[in-house]
Amino acid sequence: MDLAAQDDRIYLLVGDLGFGVVEPFMQKFPDRFLNAGVAEQNMTGVAAGIALTGKIVFTYSIANFPILRCLEQIRNDVCYHKANVKIVSIGGGFSYGALGMSHHATEDLAILRALPEMTVIAPGDPFEAQAATRAAAEHDGPCYLRLGRAGEPLVHASKVSFRIGKAIRVREGDALTLISTGAMLRTAVDVADALTARAIPARVLSMHTLKPLDTDAILAAAQETRAIVTIEEHSIAGGLGGAVAECLAESRERVPFKRLGIPASFSAPPGTQEYLRDLCGLSPNSILRSLEPLLETVHASS
């Protein structure tokens, strides 16, 4: 709303979702709002067309609907034409866990990261989300903005300095580095605090942008700490862990490395986000247990 009040190029298109949230925009900017109905392919094609007239268009829906349902339109209409479309998906990971696998957004980062011209952003807390929204609006070209559901905890104490493609160092440490993306930031900080209490100082990086990836921050972590761990509420295949692994494999840095995420399979039982995270080993206690073998390596190399 603030951005649209300042810039009349900003439009909002929704896929018949978000009511209780989007009405203020609709009422204040009726000529720049469109409910496309349950027709996300059309929503995306219309967004691309509007963007190609010089506008900045946000599309909005939950989980996989604004991305996977209309992937061809994103690829052919938005990315191929470098259209100024900002795709906002709420419900990243297991945010809508109780609604089952159709609402589990667990492959989105890998798929969107593979599209040419697409910028992929998954902020770690509400401060990052606010900054990421402004950064996406200012960025010239397609963006994917992956959000939680609402109510995510604040991790930063105040507004952050946010740059697309530049990780935020949240905790300092030289024993190992925890790299998280999206709403796993709070968990990463809790794990780091538990490790630091055991005299294992852990660095935490909020890798809010998966594409372009902050390779400098990753390589610095490989040089300055004795192990790297990635934490993501996303399939272990192709997301943050895969991106960091690619960076490390193509560098000269050799450092113990571990990926933590969701198994590359469908989550069978529906349940709360916390329940499903725990089932996948993504609770703080589960992560700490899984890190024990790696910590032995860290101690041996100190």
Give catalytic residues, as residue numbers.
Answer: 40
Its sign, for the CA torsion 254, 236, 289, 124, is positive
Tokens 């992937």 sit on residue: 71
CA–CA separation, 300 and 296 (whole Å): 6
- Of 257, 183, 182, 191, give the one whose Cα is nearest residue 221: 257
202 forms bridges with which residues in the sheet?
A: 176
Beta-carbon contacts of 33 under 8 Å, excluding residues fewer than 6 positions away, are: 11, 12, 13, 14, 22, 25, 26
SS3 302: coil
206 forms bridges with which residues in the sheet?
A: 168, 180
H helix intervals, the chain: 2-6, 23-28, 40-51, 71-73, 108-113, 126-138, 185-197, 215-224, 240-249, 273-279, 284-301
Cα 96 to Cα 68, 149, 165, 200, 261, distances in angstroms: 16, 8, 28, 35, 17
CA–CA separation, 164 and 207 (whole Å): 10
